[in-house]
Amino acid sequence: MPEQLTFELPVRTSTARGDFFVSEANALAVARLEDTGGWPDGKLVLAGPEGSGKSHLGQVWAEAEDAYFLTSIPAQTSLPETAMVIEIPEALSAAEEETLFHVHNHMVAHRLPLLMLARTPPARWRLALPDLKSRMEATDIVRIEPPDDALLAAVIVKLFSDRQLDIAPAVISWLVARIDRSFAEAQRVVALLDQAALAEGRAVTRALAQRVLTENDP
């Protein structure tokens, strides 16, 4: 039999509000983002692990607030006159710290909402600039908690959907009952299943999932 040809199709991540599933794990975060006026000093840190939906929720908030969205911190940036979302990297350079410091002060002084997305709370950020560190640690925090079954199932469905794959509900339920409760693990498993299904030219079934999980048990 000729070898199956495979083509790497782009993953199109949907950031529509209707594609964000609310459960007990993220309900508080959603509520806080819907109450921008209640943020102390108009700023908030949304913290959560990789794949938890921070960027998705940040995009939804940015659209609602007509906010400027930075996926990284440039060495210099113009100071906006609108709300802003910033994705905070794991480690900041000295130039990035200076930029974040000036952006923070500008936003607070002009009473413009500032939403920061990060994997960890500010107390765990490796900041060298003392004035920035104190301001970040004084910022209110809301967390996205590890996923419950309902959220994990919704995340897996969305990850498959982003890859243009429709999976039977029974397969989703089977996966939820067997993989680790983490967003990163859901991403890993979906990527593995997509790769295997593409290579073999078949649908993602329970049998395929069982084999792939067994072969790739970390």
Could you list the pLDDT tens digit for every one of the 218 residues in the chain? Answer: 333 333 333 334 444 444 567 878 888 998 999 999 999 999 999 999 887 888 888 999 999 999 999 988 877 767 878 999 999 988 899 999 999 999 999 999 999 999 999 999 999 999 999 999 999 999 999 998 888 888 888 889 989 988 888 899 999 999 999 998 888 899 899 999 999 999 998 999 999 999 999 998 86
183 occurs within a structural domain: yes
Q: Range of 39's domain?
A: 26-143
State how far the Cα of 9 lies from the Cα of 154, in Å rounded to an integer.
22
Does an H or E element contain 31, and which?
A: helix 27-33
7 occurs within a structural domain = no
Torsion angle (degrees, nearest 10) of CA 120, 126, 130, 133: -10
Cα 204 to Cα 193: distance, rounded to the nearest angstrom: 7
Is the domain of 110 the same as that of 209?
Answer: no
**Domain stops at, among 93, 118, 143:** 143
Query: Based on the number of CB atoms within 10 Å of its own CB, is 120 exposed (0-12), middle (13-18) or buried (19 or more)?
Result: middle
Q: Is 109 exposed, middle or buried (0-12, 13-18, 19+ CB in 10 A)?
A: exposed
Residue 5 within any structural domain of the chain: no
Where among 108, 124, 143 does a domain terminate? 143
Q: How far is CA 144 from the centre of its chain?
A: 10
Model's pTM, two decimal places?
A: 0.74
Contact 121, 47 (CB under 8 A): yes
Amino acid at residue number 36: T
